């Protein structure tokens, strides 16, 4: 029986932590060896990043090709476990290349910090008192991060709203901070935590939460691309038909939340893969994306599709993008650092433009497949490779086994094992 009460586990070195795990859950020596392999990343870094560290959980890392973004060719690192995501993004980027690729723009890097205040005797007047004290509050917040001010960022404004019902209204103070090349959670959280007592003094109310909002409505990236109809004919459908079918599929997502969730999931397949590869907080991006998708009228697709004057398909995306290049895992994790180098980004806006373009490419690729041959065909050949590997195929065997599984339409591990055994038997003869 496992005992999860492990006092002092966090103080142990890695070998001792692994020893306890080995005893508790009967890990084999081979399993311990696998855990010990940190894929070239110094364990000390991992140990400082999280508590009770024992190893790394590696994801496949691949490069999306063919991307041209704002006129610049980019090689884009993507970390993702799902088969065919990288191939699909690369394929979409190849089609968009015919018309110059993706065009993308970003806003300044403005994040919102929230301060929740309740029990305010005169809430409407208190709201105005906060605005009266705006400059003083901004100055106090700015003093918390001189480095950010030095590089041109810092707190820029305060908004106050009243929420809840008239019997028990609540005030929410928003501090807007330009976080420049950082994701900004630390800077913003420090500032709003500091402002809490000042807000209590001004409002005579009770401050409760002081925390960043992941609904980053002022930190938006927008991108669009044109997919020429000449390059879209597929599976017996003409290019014109494919354009119409994709626009119909977009409308389906626009009017149906069940489809919209999957539509947006496809976008996030690409977005999260780049966000993870660059060591950014993918939960923040996911939360922000879905909240933004429902911020106005119901839950909506993060992309749109329409026809231009030539009848070509034009796709666009608009999404909050709270990623950073400094601070956080991006500047600590050696592979994240290499990935930033591969992407060739110097400013956070370039990273945001890349991420949005990949999201759009991913969504286009999914809709292109879904509206023509379906996604299973493409998925199956890649899935068959995974099955072949799981069954023990190595080297050339992987492709041979995968092809046979697909041709037999039996993508199962038992069948893969049989094929491998037969191949090896006939090789011995």
Per-residue tokens: 407? 């041709």
How far is it, in rounded angstroms, from Cα 229 to Cα 102? 16
Spell out, one character per residue from 354 to 383, where the chain touches ligand MEV: x when CB under 6 A holds, - when not: ------------x---x----x--------
Task: Tell me the residue nearest to ligand MEV as measured from the CB.
Answer: 266
Applying CB under 6 A, which of residues 74, 210, 229, 263 lies at the interface with ligand MEV?
263
Q: Is 301 in the site for ligand MEV (CB under 6 A)?
A: no
Q: Residue length, the chain? A: 429
Which CB, 107 or 381, lies closer to ligand MEV? 381
Applying CB under 6 A, which of residues 77, 266, 270, 328 lies at the interface with ligand MEV?
266
**Looking at the annotation, which residues are catalytic?**
82, 265, 281, 379
The three-class DSSP label of residue 208 is: strand
Q: How many of the chain's residues bind ligand MEV (CB under 6 A)?
A: 9
Q: Is 315 in the site for ligand MEV (CB under 6 A)?
A: no
Q: Residue 192's closest CA among 145, 131, 151, 126?
A: 145
Interhelix angle 239-255/257-277, nearest 10 degrees? 100
Q: Residue 355's closest CA among 329, 327, 320?
A: 320
Q: Residue 86's closest CA among 340, 280, 276?
A: 276
Applying CB under 6 A, which of residues 265, 337, 403, 410 lies at the interface with ligand MEV?
265
How far is it, in rounded angstroms, from Cα 267 to Cα 247? 16
How far is it, in rounded angstroms, from Cα 42 to Cα 288? 32
Residue list 142-161, contact with ligand MEV (CB under 6 A): none
- Region near ligand MEV per CB under 6 A, out of 21-29, 258-266, 394-402, 414-422: 258-266
Q: Is 222 in the site for ligand MEV (CB under 6 A)?
A: no
Q: Is 332 in the site for ligand MEV (CB under 6 A)?
A: no
Q: Is 288 in the site for ligand MEV (CB under 6 A)?
A: no
CB of 262 to ligand MEV, least distance (A): 4
Q: Is 101 in the site for ligand MEV (CB under 6 A)?
A: no
Dump the DSSP string for 58-108.
---EEEEEEEEETTEEEEEEEE--STTHHHHHHHHHHHHHTTT-BEEEE--
Q: Is 270 in the site for ligand MEV (CB under 6 A)?
A: no
Applying CB under 6 A, which of residues 66, 90, 109, 269 lies at the interface with ligand MEV?
269
How far is it, in rounded angstroms, from Cα 85 to Cα 64? 9
Applying CB under 6 A, which of residues 58, 262, 308, 390 lies at the interface with ligand MEV?
262
- Where along the sequence are the contacts to ligand MEV (CB under 6 A)? 82, 262-263, 265-266, 269, 366, 370, 375
């Amino acid at each position: 029986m496992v005992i999860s009460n492990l006092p002092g586990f966090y103080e142990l070195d890695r070998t001792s932590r692994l020893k306890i795990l080995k005893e508790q859950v009967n890990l084999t020596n081979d399993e311990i060896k696998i855990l010990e392999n940190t894929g070239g990343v110094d364990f000390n870094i991992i140990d400082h990043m999280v508590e009770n560290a024992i190893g790394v959980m590696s994801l496949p890392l691949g490069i999306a090709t063919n991307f041209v973004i704002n006129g610049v060719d980019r090689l884009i690192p993507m970390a993702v476990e799902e088969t065919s995501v990288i191939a699909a993004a690369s394929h979409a980027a190849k089609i968009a290349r015919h018309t110059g690729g993706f065009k993308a723009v970003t806003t300044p890097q403005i994040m919102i910090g929230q301060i929740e205040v309740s029990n305010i005797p005169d809430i409407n007047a208190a709201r105005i008192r906060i605005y009266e004290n705006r400059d003083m509050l901004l100055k106090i917040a700015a003093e918390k991060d001189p480095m950010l001010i030095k590089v041109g960022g810092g707190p820029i404004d305060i908004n106050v709203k009243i929420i809840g019902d008239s019997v028990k209204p609540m005030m929410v103070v928003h501090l807007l901070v330009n976080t420049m090349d950082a994701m900004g959670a630390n800077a913003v959280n420090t500032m709003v935590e500091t402002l809490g007592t000042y807000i209590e003094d001004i409002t005579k109310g009770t401050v409760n939460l002081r925390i960043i909002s992941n609904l980053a409505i002022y930190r938006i990236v927008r991108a669009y691309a044109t997919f020429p109809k000449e390059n879209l004919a597929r599976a017996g459908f003409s290019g014109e038909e494919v354009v119409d079918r994709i626009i119909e599929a977009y409308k389906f997502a626009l009017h149906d939340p069940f489809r919209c969730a999957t539509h947006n999931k496809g976008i996030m397949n690409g977005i999260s893969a780049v966000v993870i590869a660059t060591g950014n907080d993918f939960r923040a991006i996911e939360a922000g994306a879905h909240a933004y998708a429902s911020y106005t009228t119901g839950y909506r697709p993060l992309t749109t599709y329409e026809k231009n004057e030539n009848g070509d398909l034009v796709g666009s995306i608009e999404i909050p993008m709270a990623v950073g290049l400094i601070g956080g895992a991006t500047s600590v994790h050696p592979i994240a650092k290499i990935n930033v180098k591969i992407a060739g980004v110097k400013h956070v806006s370039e990273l945001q433009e890349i991420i949005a373009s990949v999201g759009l490419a991913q969504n286009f690729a999914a809709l292109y497949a879904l509206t023509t041959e379906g996604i299973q065909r493409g998925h199956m050949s890649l899935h068959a490779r995974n099955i072949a590997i799981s069954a023990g195929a190595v080297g050339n065997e992987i492709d041979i086994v995968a092809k046979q599984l697909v041709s037999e339409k039996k993508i199962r591990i038992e069948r893969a094992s049989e094929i491998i055994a037969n191949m090896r038997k006939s090789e011995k003869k």
